[in-house]
Structures are given as C-alpha cells and as structure tokens.
C-alpha cells in the first residue's frame, strides 16, 4: 500500500498565538491524519477550526471538507490532535495542499497549509526520462548552460547553471526558468510542494521543478530570465 507521512507548518501571519501542524498518511483513495495544535506564545487559547479545504497548487479549485463544529482548548507545550479524513479519489491528477483556517479566542483568524502531496497521473499520460541539453543561452549579460530536463512521473526538473564567462554582477541577478511543452507553459511547482520549487546547489547549479511533461509532447522549450531579460527558447526534440 502506498503511504506517505507529511508534516509541515506554514503560517500566513507572524506573531502566531497557536501553531497548527498537518500530519497525514496518503492512501490511493483517501488522506487520513490530524491537525496537531499547540499554544505558540506561552498562553492557553480557545481555538475554533473554521474551515478545511483541499486546494490545487499553484492555482486551481479548492474543495471544502465537511468538518462539523470543532472548538478546542489549546495549551502551550502540549499537542492536541484533531483527526480528519479526506477523500481524494475524485481529484484530478495534480499537486495539492490541505489548508486549514482557525479562529483564536473569538478574535483573529490564521491559515495554515500542509506540505504538498500529489494525486498521481496515469502512466500513459506523462513522459519519463532525461533529456541532456548541454547547450547555452544568453539572457541579457548572462550566459546560462541548460544541462538537462528530467521528466518524472510526478514532476519535471530543469537543471541549469551560469557559465564561467558570466561576470559577477550578472550572477547576482534574479534568475528564473520557463518550461514549455509544444509551446504551452508547464506549470511551475511552488515551494510548498514536496520537490523543491527552485534549489540552488554547489557550483551555481540550479534545479527548478515543474508539473510533469505530457506524454504527447514532441518539443520541449526552455527559456531563462536574468533580471528583466529573457533568453531565446532552447528547443529540445523528444523522440
């Protein structure tokens, strides 16, 4: 049985009175877990769980989960578990988070999100394998080497690095990557997804993660932005 245990806390405001950590196991048709609550400022609090949604990331629909009325007293340095179960059998393939909203002491409201989880694609709908590029593109003053595009079952990863000829000022510019499949953008994965959205490695190598590449794709295109300048697309044909 396919099981994944996940634990993360992501707050949308600073100075939290409480912390909510989402823990769950993932099964083929459902998610079973608990919201783990505790006081974060050294004080006890009355907490009302107002809403729970399963949201596609980075964009997409949010499906509300029926949780009934949940009102609990939360103490500091002591975990309180509020169990939940989510049906994911009807969700389209994609990346999702479980987002909860709590009201504290009948006052302010805070939102928390789990780490991302994937509803898998059928094998026949996504491409697998690695395309080695080894080619350079220019974005403004930056020379960037596109090393590879790795196509996985749940995501795709573009690996690239600044060339040695690029001057230090250009290397300090913000850089980003677009991945296109037959001219259509492949969605980037945000930081809350399990694979790192963008990861800087030793030697200046960067890995940026996207949704999977559709099976029917014939040509991948990679574009790099350095500062405000975009490169010409590097096209990679798929056999």
Helix (H, G, I), strand (E, B) or coil at 123: helix
Q: Which residues, at least 6 apart from 107, have a Cβ–Cβ distance to it below 8 Å?
A: none
State mean pLDDT over 204-215. Answer: 93
Same domain, yes or no: 161 and 228: yes
Domain edge (last residue) among 88, 119, 150: 119
Q: What pLDDT sits at residue 193?
A: 85
In terms of residue numbers, what domain contains 149?
A: 124-237
Number of domains in the chain: 2
Same domain, yes or no: 12 and 99: yes
When comparing pLDDT for 95 and 172, which is higher?
95
pTM of the predicted model as reported, rounded to 2 decimal places = 0.86
Q: What pLDDT sits at residue 23?
A: 96
- Burial (CB < 10 A; 0-12, 13-18, 19+), residue 81, is exposed
In tens, the pLDDT along 193-208 reads 877 777 766 667 899 9
Identify the helix (H) or strand (E) that includes residue 206.
strand 205-210
Q: Which range is least confidently modeled, 70-74, 83-87, 162-166?
A: 162-166
Domain edge (last residue) among 95, 119, 143: 119
């Amino acid at each position: 049985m396919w099981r994944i245990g996940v634990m993360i806390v992501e707050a949308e405001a600073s100075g939290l009175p409480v912390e909510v950590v989402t823990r769950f196991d993932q099964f083929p048709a459902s998610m079973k877990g608990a919201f783990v609550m505790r006081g974060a400022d050294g004080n006890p609090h009355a907490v009302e769980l107002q809403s729970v949604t399963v949201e596609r990331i980075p964009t997409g629909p949010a499906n509300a989960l029926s949780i009934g009325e949940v009102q609990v007293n939360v103490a500091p340095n002591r975990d309180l578990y509020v169990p939940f179960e989510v049906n994911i059998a009807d969700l389209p393939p994609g990346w999702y988070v479980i987002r909860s909203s709590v009201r504290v002491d009948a006052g302010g409201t805070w939102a928390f999100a789990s780490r991302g989880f994937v509803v898998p694609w059928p094998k026949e709908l996504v491409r697998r394998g690695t395309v080695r590029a080894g080619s350079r593109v220019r974005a403004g003053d930056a020379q960037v080497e596109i090393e590879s595009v790795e196509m996985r079952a749940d995501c795709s990863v573009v690996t690239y690095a600044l060339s040695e000829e690029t001057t230090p000022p250009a290397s300090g510019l913000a850089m980003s990557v677009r991945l296109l499949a037959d001219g259509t953008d492949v969605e980037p994965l945000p930081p809350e997804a399990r694979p790192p959205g963008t990861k800087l490695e030793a030697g200046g190598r960067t890995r940026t993660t996207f949704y999977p590449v559709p099976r029917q794709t014939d040509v991948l295109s990679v574009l790099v932005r350095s500062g405000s300048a975009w490169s010409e697309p590097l096209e990679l044909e798929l056999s």
